[in-house]
Structure 1
Amino acid sequence: MTAIAVLTNLPDSDSAFNLARELVSLRLAACANVLAPATSFYRWEGREEQATEVPVLIKSTRERYPALEAHIKSRHPYSVPEIIAWPLELGSAEYLAWVERESQPI
């Protein structure tokens, strides 16, 4: 198994907290950190935009990613949510083993 980190941004704290709790409760992730609000600058539908968003940093596994992505998309208020993932190549062996163990379906 390969541990991964996944990042998504939500428009408010309530939706970020709800998503984080669901992902851990459903064992799609071992951990989800709701981070401090951030100001995002981006281009959307031909216009430059600025918005306050709440990042959620999720630790899971590559094997659980398809289900995790599907769940985020089903709960996300954006039509095209940011969902990006990268492998965790290095880290505490004990922590990475915990991520893999806690992300497994029951």
Structure 2
Amino acid sequence: MSEVIQVHTATGSHEAAQRLAQGAVQARLAAGGQIIGPVESVFWHEGVFGIGQEWQVVLKSSSQRYQELESYLRDHHEWANPEIIAVPVVTGSEPYLAWVRRTVEADEPQGA
């Protein structure tokens, strides 16, 4: 199993999603990120049923950087209790997985 993970969160606007993704990647907490949306969400929040639009942020990182990435997302997120989940990447292209690991561990930009 690789130590590469995908970390997911959601925001209420495209701009908020961009800020989170850009900040995490610039801080090297994630090697890259994708913004998907808008997506339709159906949820319960504080006892109220809701439907709304959200933008999903998917960040590529390593399990070693997860706690720092989670802290960054909590500190910079617009919501008090955002979804922040990590999904392990079980396997994948080794050159890609190595790039993710190198990028989040490096002080200087790395090639793909």
So what's the TM-score if we normalise by structure 1? 0.96
Unaligned runs of 5+ in 2: 108-112
| Residue equivalent to 1:86 | 87
CA distance in 1, matches of 2:69, 2:97: 18
The residue number in structure 2 matching 1:46 is 47
Following TM superposition, the consecutive aligned residue runs of length 4 or more in structure 1 with deviations greater than 4 angstroms are: none
Task: Quote how far apart the aligned CAs of 1:18 are.
Answer: 1.0
CA contact (8 A) 1:28 1:105 kept: no
Q: TM-score, normalised to structure 2's length?
A: 0.91
Instruction: Quote the sequence identity (%).
Output: 36
Contact 1:40-1:52 at 8 Å conserved across structures = yes
Unaligned stretches of 5+ residues in structure 1: none
Q: Secondary structure at the match of 1:80?
A: coil
Taking the aligned partners of 1:99 and 1:47, their CA distance within structure 2 comes to 39
| Aligned residues between the structures | 106
What is the aligned-residue RMSD (CA, Å)?
Answer: 1.0
